[in-house]
Structure 1
């Protein structure tokens, strides 16, 4: 298939084919250093690096590593290639030797000169990005996932799992005041679990509810938070009224009533999550 040209491509052609692992890694390191120099001149960082290995018998092997943030850090990227090559189901076989190696960067993003590379020992996002990159190189992109915000106000649809290294933009979660109580529980059930309500206040929260055969007596409650169904996705979705409730033992639950009195013959109650 047609492959669009990468913004940066660096080649090495050998008069004598190479096959020793240490020679292959040395050339790979040299290619990465030259690649990063070219990226630096253009103000770019790489998000995907592809190493091409061309055997004298005409066979070609390509190995790709991806990073969660743009980088020009050659030593860190070389370590990702080591991780990826060690995890290959079919090891890299030089046969009678490689007569050419190539490093290309099919995915780039802007990277300011002042931004630090992946190998700087800094806390926070840099360290986490290094960890994600190494796990992705070792286990594969579909095995290392992260949550990404999604445009939906239905709680179970407000985030989706995507490969951790596939960040395309600056998706951010809403900023919350650390002193405010959490709006959503850390543990959510998918799907929400039905509960039996007792002594229910009309259009309010239940005074008692039974969940997993255990009766809980509500002592405190906040709400309702009304969430309407997304009719453009599913026309039969019902309105939900959410409550944050606490029982006598201090356990906190996120309950909702599906359906509104007067609109639904028999509204049903569910538990959607547990607060810490």
Structure 2
């Protein structure tokens, strides 16, 4: 039967001092001082106890009585779901082993559906009778729970292994874990269009399993106002697809789709030193500005490295007389006695 907190503490206080598992000399000193049980020590103030018998005695007492957090933290987080199937005798046929793995995938799908989740990663572990263990891991770009999709990805991953999965004298245990699970949203598409997003996600998953997760990348937004740092390329399976901010209806885009890295220097003619550009030269051609919008001042992220302050940039969205649109900026502020600011072309609008 379970004990309540008061009864449990009373039972702990009745234990002998040996329950603290202290060094022999410390335990002997406690007994000579008349402290023969845990309760005898617990009734004493902690400061004199620490000064006489050391901090270890005080810490072990607090740990035994539950006054400090002494939980065992695993090095790896336990999986969200775990399923296993032992064999009465070792199985050497991979067809049968994969069939059992498919049954485990079906059990995982049932449990994921009951919880409203989908797996972002699945891990199959094969235990051979000679003690060797092989682990095969797959990832998906979005939460999935369809057993057919999971098994197709496992088949592609096993086929692409540099060291083939050898049953040897047979497997005696197969285990399927779902280390990472996320909420599963069941989207309903229209009746007259194909679900291209799902097809593209499944294609990326299959190609990543066959050729490696680092070969296929997805662009994700970053929380920064510096244009060249606003987008990062990560493995397509590493994160869920991000939702990009939609532009305002009938409004031109604020940022071009194509950026030059580094920005390209250009020669600019302006009516006044700090005014908008009237004409600029780029790649040997002259572009007369028909319309412009700006400036938009973008400064450096001063909180990253204040020892090297960066001069702000003044950006302009310009359109030449041929209808082509550019994103240019003036780097620096015009001040007397200093070199004039430099102009750069940073991007092209489509």
Whether 2:120 is the aligned partner of 1:47: answer: yes
Please, what is the CA RMSD of the aligned residues? 2.4
1:231 and 1:265 map into 2 onto residues whose CA distance is: 23
Q: Which whole-Å CA distance do the structure 1 matches of 2:304 and 2:80 have between them?
A: 40
- In the TM superposition, 1:1-276 aligns within 5 A as 2-111=75-184, 114=186, 123-167=195-239, 171-199=242-270, 201-235=272-306, 236-262=309-335, 265-276=339-350
Larger displacement relative to structure 2 (171-180 or 40-49): 171-180
Taking the aligned partners of 1:172 and 1:246, their CA distance within structure 2 comes to: 29
* Partner SS state of residue 103, structure 1: strand
Tell me: CA distance 1:94–1:262, structure 2 relative to 1, closer, same or farther (3 Å).
same
Residue 200 of structure 1: how far off its partner (Å): 5.4
The secondary structure found in structure 1 opposite 2:301 is: coil
Which structure has the bigger radius of gyration?
2
Shift of 1:109: 1.5
Q: TM-score, normalised by structure 1?
A: 0.88
Q: Given the two structures, how large is their TM-score scaled by the length of structure 2?
A: 0.70
CA 1:201 to 1:88, structure 2 compared with 1: closer, same or farther past 3 Å? farther
User: 1:82-134: CA deviations, max 9, x gaps?
Assistant: 2222222222222222221110001111236x557xxxx95253233222222
**Structure of higher RCO (CA pairs closer than 8 Å, 6+ residues apart):** 1
CA deviation map 1:233-274 (0-9, x unaligned): 244222111111222332221101111223974311111111
Change (3 A) 1:267 1:10: same
| Structure 1 residue ranges (4+ consecutive) displaced by more than 3 angstroms after TM superposition | 198-201, 262-265
Name the CA shift for 1:115/1:197 in 2 (closer, same or farther; >3 Å). closer
Unaligned runs of 5+ in 1: none
